[in-house]
Amino acid sequence: MFKQIQYKLLISYLLVLGSVLTVFATAVRIFFTHSLSQQLTDKLKALAQGAATNVEFKQGHLQVENDFQVQELLTRDQALQWFNTEGRLIVQRGKYVLSLPLDTTKHFQIQNQRSVTIQAITLPIIDNDEQQLIGYVRVSQSLKEFDETVRKLDLGLGGGIVISLVLSGVGGIFLTHQAMQPIEKSFQKLKQFTADASHELRSPLMAIKSNVTVALKYPEGMRVSDCQKLQAIASATEQMTALTEDLLLLARSDQINPQGWQLINLNSVLNNLVQIYEIQATAKQIHLQLETVENLFLLGDSSQITRLFRNLIDNALQYTPTGGRVKINASLVNQTILVQVQDTGIGIAPEHQKQIFERFWQVDRARSYHWGNSGLGLAIAQSIAKGHNGVITITSQLGIGSCLTVSLPAKLKTSRK
Ligand SMILES: Nc1ncnc2c1ncn2[C@@H]1O[C@H](COP(=O)(O)OP(=O)(O)OP(=O)(O)O)[C@@H](O)[C@H]1O
Ligand SMILES: [Mg+2]
């Protein structure tokens, strides 16, 4: 139970940390790529402005001065293109030129050429003397370096998140273990206290019980009302003894010692129980039926396994009205023993089905109290099943009936009758 809480705590912590780191990394990436692309645009603008001044307008024609070093452009993955006012290409320098036609309506142009993305900006060339438009210059740059830088950033951020999560996970395991230890200790102490208290209550209860039994054996000379009071004490003592026994069993439920387990013949356990409960069933006109297969064996604590099925059959008979049916079906499926205790009783509402295995939980507290029930029966049964590496599940329909299925690991193979 504590291990489960520890893992849940660790996973929640890692999820929160992972989300915070992802948000942080996304913000860093957006900010970084934005400023990088701004820098690139500024560089291209400066280059375009320089290129715009390196042209001459002679006899209505645009002429480009031969000042631009192609090599320099190439090493910077840049290129230049000059156009006349009609958009016809006059000259171009550099490798990464756009093959797209000039679009003067767009400040930016982007093109993918053989897995290289090229970004370009276009500026108009204005003649200083005439103050008229004489052409356009388009500066382009391959985004290879930009993409590479962003890829490295992504790698760095992603790697950073993974490393942080791994390190936090390792630290988290240690910290959650440290945090759970005092809780686990106090829980164990509480369990020990319940076990000790239940154990200590046994002797005084036994003393009350035996004294009341002796007193009731000789009722002569006793007033009738006193006799009734003693009978009430006897019944209450009986209930308290059962309750302390149940509490003791629950408190010791996880101290199961598989070394002391013996081979249990489940058929004989179920047959014995059916024989015992037959009287109660007949009195309530309930048809109690057992269907089983041969050689159903399992390893376990015989008295605990008997107790498990006793609690289930007890419930089935108790919560089934007169004239109903209780059917016990035992089978073997893939080395797992499945025992279904099915009744045509009052059933349990879906919203209550999860809670019925909790200690002291009862659907109808007032009625159950009247019957002398404590609400520990199914908690004990589930604890025994889990202690034997099994589980109890429930399917139920209100007003129609319930089916409690016990799954336990089988010891030997079996054949159908
Ligand atoms: N077969 C069943 N049909 C309908 N309701 C059931 C059935 N089995 C259990 N319940 C409901 O689940 C509750 C818990 O059952 P559980 O056996 O733990 O306690 P209990 O029967 O009240 O007391 P006890 O400790 O004496 O068994 C019951 O009070 C009852 O409301
Ligand atoms: Mg019960």
End-to-end CA distance of the chain: 40
Specify if 304 maps to a domain.
yes
Residue 13 and residue 143 in one domain? yes
Distance (Å) from CA 263 to ligand 2 centroid: 27
CB of 18 shorter than 6 A to ligand 1: no
Atom number in ligand 1 closest to CA 316: 1
Within a domain: residue 246?
no
Q: Is the CB of 376 under 6 A from ligand 1?
A: yes
- Looking at residue 356, its pLDDT comes to 92
Q: How far is the CA of 190 from the centre of ligand 2 (A)?
A: 24
Residues 8 and 141 reside in one and the same domain? yes
Question: Which of 151, 177, 211 lies at the terminal end of a domain, its last residue?
Answer: 151
Q: Is 324 in the pocket of ligand 1 (CB under 6 A)?
A: no
Cα 198 to ligand 1 centre (Å): 22
Give the C-alpha separation, 346 to 9, whole Å.
Answer: 39
From the alpha carbon of 362, which atom of ligand 1 is closest? 29
Which string of DSSP letters, residue by residue, matches 146-168? HHHHHHHHHHHHHHHHHHHHHHH
What is the whole-number distance in angstroms between the Cα of residue 375 and the centre of ligand 1? 6
In whole angstroms, give the CA distance from residue 269 to residue 226: 42
Q: Which of residues 151, 168, 203 is at a domain's end?
A: 151
**264 within some domain:** yes
- If asked whether residues 136 and 8 sit together in one domain, one would say yes
- On whether residue 184 sits in a domain, the answer given is no
Q: Are residues 263 and 405 in the same domain?
A: yes
> How many angstroms does the Cα of residue 387 sit away from the middle of ligand 1?
20
| Residue 43 DSSP SS3 | helix
CATH number at residue 322: 3.30.565.10
Residues 143 and 279 in one domain: no
What atom in ligand 1 is closest to the CA of residue 404?
A: 1
Q: What is the pLDDT of residue 131?
A: 81
- Report how many domains make up the chain: 2
Q: Assess whether the C-beta atom of 381 lies below 6 angstroms from ligand 1.
A: no
417 residues of the chain, pLDDT tens digit each = 778 888 898 999 999 999 999 999 999 999 999 999 999 889 888 888 888 887 777 776 777 776 656 566 656 788 888 898 888 888 888 888 888 888 888 878 888 887 889 999 999 988 877 788 888 989 999 998 899 999 999 999 999 999 999 999 999 999 988 988 898 898 888 888 888 888 899 899 999 999 999 999 888 888 889 999 999 999 999 989 988 988 888 887 767 778 888 999 999 999 999 999 999 999 999 999 999 998 899 999 998 999 999 999 999 999 999 999 999 999 999 899 999 999 999 999 999 998 999 988 888 766 665 566 888 899 999 999 999 999 999 999 999 999 999 999 998 654 444
| Residue-level pLDDT at 368 | 62
User: Which ligand 1 atom sits nearest the alpha carbon of residue 373?
Assistant: 26
pLDDT score, position 43: 87
Closest ligand to 383 CA?
1
Q: Which of 108, 127, 151 is the last residue of a domain?
A: 151
In a domain? residue 215: no
Q: Is 94 in the pocket of ligand 1 (CB under 6 A)?
A: no
Decide whether any atom of ligand 1 lies within 6 Å of the 346 Cβ. yes
Which residues, other chains included, contact 90 with Cβ-Cβ below 8 Å and sequence gap of 6+? 62, 63, 64, 82, 83, 84, 135
Query: What's the angle, vertex CA 43, arms to CA 38 and CA 45, rounded to 5?
Result: 95
Range of the domain at 125: 2-151
Strand 297-300 relative to strand 262-265, pairing: antiparallel
Mutate to test the pocket of ligand 1, among 315, 370, 380 (most ligand atoms within 8 A of CB): 315
Is 208 a member of any domain? no
With respect to residue 11, please indicate whether it lies within any of the assigned structural domains: yes
Is residue 305, in this structure, part of any structural domain at all? yes
Strands (E), 51-200: 55-58, 61-64, 78-83, 89-94, 108-113, 116-126, 133-142
> Ligand 1 center to residue 376 CA distance, Å?
8
Which ligand has an atom closest to residue 345 CA?
A: 1
Asked if residue 374 has its Cβ within 6 Å of ligand 1, the reply is yes
Q: Are residues 11 and 138 in the same domain?
A: yes
Report which residue type is found at 36: L
CATH number where 119 lies? 3.30.450
β-pairing verdict for 116-126 and 262-265? unpaired
Residue 122: predicted pLDDT: 92
**356 CA → ligand 1 middle, Å:** 7
In this predicted structure, what is the pLDDT of residue 373? 80
